[in-house]
Structure 1
């Protein structure tokens, strides 16, 4: 059975897409820790990041760096935090979280955004992708 992320990648579930390449896909987290919180996922449906082959692993991290730089150029934050937890969805994903305070990284502090706010921040981040 396809993971929720595979369904997002395949367009079966809508998302606020940020970027895509042949191997990876980035979209806004719909339950964000902070405005601009983005998930970068491998298109390969692999549960654990360390189970990716080296090429896919390095490709995902390079892709996440590119997306993270765009977030950093868009969102007012001290830095973009990177975390790989992966317990909630059995599909490799990297969280890119704009951080101004340690609570932004806690996954216990969430922000609410309207559909318009999601669309606006996604568009702004997309324009900064190099």
Structure 2
């Protein structure tokens, strides 16, 4: 059975895409810890970190680094944080978010009530920062589609 993330990648469930390539996509989460919180997800259904090939992990980490650099620029954050948990969905994903302190990096701070217009604005802000950083080729033409 397809995972929730596969359904988002396939367009069956809406997503706010900020990155797409042949191996991975990134979209902002509906429960952000901070504005701009994005998920880097392989297109292939890999259950968890320890199931992924070294090549896949290298690619996902590279994408996460690029997104983190854009988040730092877009939100003037001193750091970009990377979290890997994956208990809620059996599809490997990296949480990348702008960060100001270590204490705030907890899923207890996730806002499940963030208004759609705020989520849309954060996704577009991140998309713009990625384009400004020279990654326009990987920013999908439409925020609601992982197609380039």
Aligned to 1:24: 24
**TM-score of the aligned structures, taking structure 2 as reference length:** 0.82
Q: Deviations over 1:25-50 (max 9, x none)?
A: 10111011111111100111011112
Aligned to 1:58: 58
SS of the residue corresponding to residue 127 of structure 1 reads helix
Residues paired across the two proteins, number: 130
Moved over 3 A (4+): none
Structure 1: gaps (5+ residues): none
Aligned to 1:82: 82
Shift of 1:101: 2.9
How far, CA to CA, are the matches of 2:90 and 2:43 in structure 1?
A: 13
My pick for the range that moved more, 37-46 or 70-79, is: 70-79
How far, CA to CA, are the matches of 1:65 and 1:103 in structure 2?
A: 21
1:103·1:109 contact (CA, 8 Å) conserved in 2?
no
Is 1:68 aligned to 2:60, yes or no?
no
Shift of 1:92: 0.5
- Root-mean-square deviation over aligned CA pairs: 1.3
Aligned to 1:128: 129
SS of the residue corresponding to residue 33 of structure 2 reads coil
